Amino acid sequence: MARRAARLAGYVLCGVLAAGAIALALSHRASIAAIPRPDPASFAKDLVERGAALARIGNCAVCHTQAGGALYAGGRALATPFGTIYGTNITPDEASGIGSWPKDAFARALREGVARDGTHLYPAFPYEHFNALADADIDALYAFLMTRPAVAQQAPANRLIPPLGFRPLLAGWKLLFLHRDAAPADRGAYLVQVLAHCGACHTPRNGLGAERRDRPFAGGWSEGWYAPPLDGSNPSHRAWSEDRIAGYLRTGFDSNHAAAAGPMGPVARSLSGAPDADIRAIAAYVAKWIRQAPDAPALDRREAAAQIQPAGATLFAGACAACHENGAPMMLQGRPPLSFGTPLHETTPRDAILIVLQGLAPPLGDSGPAMPAFGDTFDDRQLADLTAYLRARFSTQPAWSSLEREVAAARKEGNAP
Amino acid sequence: MTVTLNVNGRDHAIDGDPATPLLYVLRDDLALNGAKYGCGLGQCGACTVLVDDKPVFACVTPLATLAGRRVRTVEGLGNGKLQQAFATEQAAQCGYCIAGMIMRAQALLERNPSPSEAQIRAHMQPNLCRCGTHMRILRAVRRAAEAP
Ligand code: FES
Ligand code: FES
């Protein structure tokens, strides 16, 4: 379904942007002359350090590093509704990275989505946000990246739905959707809207893949995962206070919610190394947006759920209860009950299903709480029953429909972070 | 409830609570004691068996999920090159994790007879050896993969 819709959108895009293709001649971007890689010693140390902190908040490594690969050397596959895009090499290797890019080329890429050689970059690179980056921050990011070890590694070619491989179309896309925004004065607003580009996942996108500016933070999609709303419609059972948000961003976990899952896991890992003052500023700003609710006690409709979904109750007892049942050893260590996590209250079952299918990695890397993957334990019907039971037991939201199909789709579309 | 459980190619009629984890059925009802109880929480892999050729934690696999599926345990493996490789590398210390390790490795080698070092490590990652013989275990899997 999503694929067909995406294909349709592809052709719509083709039509709408035929005009863009004509505008191509007008919007052709010049190549900026290559330079030899700048001497790392030419950058002031404090500038590099500031850049390192900014890169943490900008989550650069998340998309520009592949699993087990060299930092910033690219190659990570990013699944989008329009096909697969690979994060590029942003180390200072002259041939395969950005070593030959002068600073104005780097700034143009961030703000306008144009590579040094003049080719247009896909909006998976969030220039929708970065266009409001402050000059001083671009300087610092440039200094930081140019002083990383150069790694020779060419990113694989993107695999996009035709005709989207034809990059000049992006000129038309930008005419329609790339706005020149002023940088917000408030530090938290600046970090959230611009550098950390939270809306890239948490804001819904239109059929052409542009963020909907009329619905900021209303919940979006990222690599097959649902990124819950950060606005008044956030469905969490417990309140998200400024302190809780800060702790969650810092550690990937909050005892009144849950562990960061899906693409948020790597984001939390990246933010864990960001300056405390910036994390506080981000938290203060998000707290202004997100729904405030009084703390409700854990929700547990055990008997009712077992009646509604007895098959799911059986599966829960055999597969989940050893950790998640009231009084289980894990629960006695202060882990949040399932009603505290956001997934079981979301409008879509996607996140809940993916967490069961793939399990959860420890929030901050090698050690810490982890959940095993159950993708090979349950078939689609069984996981549908289990998901229905979880929803009935731990949420007051209406039952999800078509769960068996949802499970099959989640198996296909959910990227492992 | 009665579930027909196919283990190592043989059907068994198991009469019991459908929520019972497979590990208990194997050990208590079928006297197949290869798979071990380590944590009971899907965290260590001592209980790993194959269900439809995929490694799963038997301690968190309810009997109810298994109708019509094929379970394989270390007892069904015979004495092949994988076990030989574990013996040659002296991969077992106390041995508690080994049946699980062998079953997880078996799943990999059936799917991919010549895995890379990175693939072996990623695949074996969920299983824990309390004695710390991971390096020998990895060597054993590599040896089995390279054996003719
Ligand atoms: S006993 Fe099953 S994973 Fe530890
Ligand atoms: S040999 Fe003792 S646990 Fe692995």
Q: Report phi then psi at A284, rounded to 5.
A: -65, -40
pLDDT category at A1 given cuts 50, 70, 90 is very low
Q: Whole domain around residue B64: which residue ranges?
A: 2-76
With tokens 């959230």, the residue in question is A192
Rg value, chain A, Cα: 22
Question: At which of B76, B107, B129 does a domain end?
Answer: B76
- What are B21-61's pLDDT values in tens digits? 999 999 999 999 999 999 999 999 999 999 999 999 999 99
A317 and chain B in contact, CB less than 8 A: yes
Looking at the structure, tell me whether residues B84 and B31 fall in a common domain: no
Q: What is the pLDDT of residue A25?
A: 63
Percentage of chain B with pLDDT > 70? 100
Looking at the structure, tell me whether residues B93 and B70 fall in a common domain: no
- Give the residues surrounding ligand 1 with Cβ less than 6 Å away: B 37-40, 42-47, 57, 59
Looking at the structure, tell me whether residues B63 and B95 fall in a common domain: no
Q: What average pLDDT does this structure show over B71-99?
A: 95
Q: What is the pLDDT of residue A11?
A: 62
* Interface contacts A/B by beta carbons within 8 Å: 59
Distance in angstroms (rounded) separating the CA atoms of residues A169 and A13 = 9
Q: Report phi then psi at A136, rounded to 5.
A: -60, -35
Work out which ligand 2 atom sits closest to the CA atom of B130.
3
Looking at the structure, tell me whether residues B71 and B36 fall in a common domain: yes
User: Ligand 1, atom 3: nearest CA belongs to which residue?
Assistant: B42
Question: At which of B28, B47, B76 does a domain end?
Answer: B76
Looking at the structure, tell me whether residues B47 and B19 fall in a common domain: yes
- Residue among A68, A318, A372 whose CB faces B62 most closely: A318
Within 10 angstroms of residue B2's Cβ, the number of other Cβ atoms is 10
Ligand 2 pocket test: pick from B131, B134, B137 the residue with the most ligand atoms within 8 Å of its Cβ. Answer: B131
Q: What is the ipTM of this complex?
A: 0.95
Window 55-94 of B, Cβ < 8 Å to A: 55-57, 59-65
A68 and chain B in contact, CB less than 8 A: yes
Say if residue A19's pLDDT is above 70.
Answer: no
Structural domain total, chain B: 2
Q: Report phi then psi at A72, rounded to 5.
A: 65, 5
Q: What is the pLDDT of residue A4?
A: 61
- What are A30-81's pLDDT values in tens digits? 999 999 999 999 999 999 999 999 999 999 999 999 988 999 999 999 989 8
* CATH assignment at residue B32: 3.10.20.30
Looking at the structure, tell me whether residues B53 and B97 fall in a common domain: no
Looking at the structure, tell me whether residues B141 and B95 fall in a common domain: yes
Contacts of B21 in chain A (CB under 8 A): 318-319
- What are A179-195's pLDDT values in tens digits? 888 999 999 999 999 99
Question: At which of B76, B107, B127 does a domain end?
Answer: B76
Identify which has the larger pLDDT, A240 or A293.
A240
* Strand positions, DSSP E, A295-385: none
Which sequence spans correspond to the domains of chain A?
A: 40-177, 187-289, 302-413
Ligand nearest to the CA of B130: 2
B10-15, strands of its sheet edge to edge: B10-15, B2-7, B70-72, B48-51, B54-57
Q: What is the pLDDT of residue A398?
A: 97
- DSSP-derived 3-state class of residue B70: strand
pLDDT category at A29 given cuts 50, 70, 90 is confident
Looking at the structure, tell me whether residues B60 and B86 fall in a common domain: no
Q: What is the DSSP letter of A82?
A: T
Ligand 2 pocket check for B96: Cβ under 6 Å: yes
- Residue among A314, A323, A330 whose CB faces B64 most closely: A314
- DSSP-derived 3-state class of residue A401: coil
Whole-model pTM above 0.90?
Answer: yes
- Residue among A322, A370, A379 whose CB faces B60 most closely: A322
* Strand positions, DSSP E, A2-116: 77-80, 83-86
Instruction: Tell me if A202 sits within 8 A of A304, measured CB to CB.
Output: no
* CATH assignment at residue B137: 1.10.150.120
Looking at the structure, tell me whether residues B7 and B70 fall in a common domain: yes
Ligand 1 centroid – CA B125 distance (Å): 13
Identify which has the larger pLDDT, A24 or A59.
A59
Q: Which residues contact A280 (CB under 8 A, 6 or more apart)?
A: A242, A246
Ligand 1 centroid – CA A351 distance (Å): 25
Q: What average pLDDT does this structure show over A111-136?
A: 96
Distance in angstroms (rounded) separating the CA atoms of residues A383 and A410 = 11
Within 10 angstroms of residue A96's Cβ, the number of other Cβ atoms is 17
Q: Exposed e or buried b for every residue in B104-139, given b needs 16+ CB within 10 A?
A: bbbbbbeeeeebeeeebeebbebbbbeeebbebbbb
SS3 percent helix, strand, coil of chain A, rounded to 5, is 45, 5, 45
Q: What is the pLDDT of residue A292?
A: 83
Q: What average pLDDT does this structure show over A283-299?
A: 91
Looking at the structure, tell me whether residues B72 and B82 fall in a common domain: no
Domain A302-413, what architecture?
Answer: Orthogonal Bundle (1.10)
| Nearest Cα residue to A224 out of A407, A22, A40, A37 | A407
Instruction: Tell me if A139 sits within 8 A of A159, measured CB to CB.
Output: no
Select, from the ranges A15-24, A26-35, A68-77, A159-168, the one with the highest average predicted confidence (pLDDT). Answer: A68-77
- What are A373-406's pLDDT values in tens digits? 999 999 999 999 999 999 999 999 999 999 999 9
pLDDT category at A417 given cuts 50, 70, 90 is low
Q: What is the DSSP letter of A297?
A: P
